[in-house]
Amino acid sequence: MTSSRIRGTGDRSGPLRYPLLLVVVFLSAFPVYWTFMIPSRTNDAVGQLPPPFLPGGHFLSNAARVFDTVNFGKALMNSFIVAGTITLCTLLFCSLAGFAFAKMRFRGRNALLLIVIATMMVPIQLGIIPLYIQMQELGWGNRLISVVLPTAVTAFGVVFMRQNVLQAVPDELLEAGRMDGCGTLRLYWHVALPALRPGLAVLGLLTFMQAWNDFMWPLIVLNSENPTVQVALSTLASGHYRDNTLVLAGTALGTLPVLVIFALFGRQIIGGIMEGAVKG
């Protein structure tokens, strides 16, 4: 039994597997490396053939130029506010809805859950024109709230949290809480939420990164005076001449937060994606 498991599906195809994977990882990592290497050089060095392959010492001076050229400090702060708020709203709303769908019985539950799933297939980006008009009429044009609200809750998050509640919150625990006189909200807060911590962490990480990277809608509704990081980067990149070390310094700075998150929590993020795949 054990020996046949160890031979398993793969190990016999040995010799090619590791080289192939190393090539893939190299191809994956190289553009990211390039994003950080180019701005560590001067434009003169980058404009030569062959291009330099190793980092130099000019990253900080190029990074400083980013802050002089566009409103990058504000962009960073806006992106943190937007992505942070979207993440908190998503965690709260999705865990509440997931809790209701998983543990409460109510009229129309299954039909409503199906509607939630169906909305995942609707490309809401196609509603941007009325959305833009709506935000102008509400007086929210160029304000962060118009970026936050449309993505403050996702169908994926609701379905993901429902699965998590089903797995992580045993009925017995809720029953015991009920006996102690807890209402639904207190059950959610004191019984369900603590058990949901790992799932919330994964959903939070995925949501934050997605919100940080979102581009089309912020580009439309915000102007370059009040940008997110991605909008500021697009302003940099469409400048009148391409200052490569400047543009890539901004790109590197804008990528750094998600890279740090990925380095710290990569395992959980991968677990979340693969878990979501099996259920979806």
Partner 1 sequence: MTIATPAGAARDGHTDRSGPDTPPPRLPGPDRSDRTDRTDRTGPPALRRAARATVPYWLIAPFFVLFIAFGLFPMLYTAWISLTDRDMLRPGAEKFVGLRNYTDLLSDDFFWNAAGNTFLLMAMSSVPQLVLALVLAHTLNARLRGRTLFRMGVLLPNITSIVAVTIVFSQIFGRQFGLISWALDTVGLDPINWQAGEWTSKIAIAAMVIWRWTGYNALIYLAAMQAIPREHFEAAAMDGAGTWRQLWHITLPALRPTIAFTALVSIIGQIQLFTEPLLFDTSPGSVSGGNSRQFQTLALLLYEESFRLHNFGYGSAIAWLMFLVTVVFAAGAYVVTRKSSRLTRGSR
- Could you say which residues in the range 21-50 bind partner 1, by CB under 8 A? 21, 24-25, 27-29, 31-32, 34-35, 38, 46-50
> Can residue 100 be called a binding residue for partner 1 (CB under 8 A)?
yes
Scanning residues 219 to 258, which ones bind partner 1 (CB under 8 A)? 220, 230, 233-234, 237-240, 242, 244, 247-248, 251, 254-255, 258
Residue 3 interacting with partner 1 (CB under 8 A): no
Q: Does 190 bind partner 1 (CB under 8 A)?
A: no
Nearest 10 degrees: Cα torsion 213, 215, 219, 224: 30
The answer to whether 223 and 146 have CB atoms below 8 angstroms apart is no
Q: What is the rounded CA–CA span in Å between residue 22 and residue 262? A: 19
Interacting stretch for partner 1, rule CB under 8 A, among 57-65, 66-74, 196-204, 265-273? 265-273
Q: Which stretch binds partner 1 (CB under 8 A): 61-69, 70-78, 80-88, 98-106?
A: 98-106
b or e along 200-237 (b: 16 or more beta carbons within 10 Å of the residue's beta carbon)?
bebbbbbbbbbbbebeebbbbbbeeebbbbbbbbbbbe
- Cα separation, 228 vs 214, in Å, equals 9
Cβ nearer to partner 1, comparing 81 with 234: 234
Binding residue for partner 1, selected from 15, 54, 139, 267, defined by CB under 8 A: 267
| Contact predicate 113/119, CB 8 Å | no
Nearer to partner 1, 68 or 137 (CB): 137
Choices 63-71, 80-88, 196-204, 212-220; region in contact with partner 1 by CB under 8 A: 212-220
- Closer residue to partner 1, CB minimum distance, 74 or 178: 178
Site for partner 1 in 52-91 (CB under 8 A): none
The CB-of-197 to partner 1 minimum distance in angstroms stands at 19
Residue 184 interacting with partner 1 (CB under 8 A): yes
Which two structure tokens, joined as six digits, stand for 267? 């395992």
Going by C-alpha positions, the residue among 77, 94, 60, 87 that lies closest to residue 188 is 94
**Residue entry with tokens 């939630």:** 116
Contact positions with partner 1 (CB under 8 A) in 115-154: 116, 119, 121-134, 136, 149-150, 152-153
Kindly tell me which of 13 and 57 has the beta carbon lying closer to partner 1.
13
User: Does residue 158 contact residue 115 with C-beta atoms inside 8 Å?
Assistant: no
Q: Which of 30, 161, 1, 179 is nearest to 96 (CA)?
A: 161
| Shortest Å distance, C-beta 184 to partner 1 | 5
Structure tokens, 3: 């020996």
- Residue 171 binds partner 1 (CB under 8 A): yes
Written as six digits, the tokens of 82 are 């937007």
Please choose, from the candidates 216, 260, 251, the residue with its C-alpha nearest in 3D space to the C-alpha of residue 31: 251
Is 1 an interacting residue with respect to partner 1 (CB under 8 A)?
no
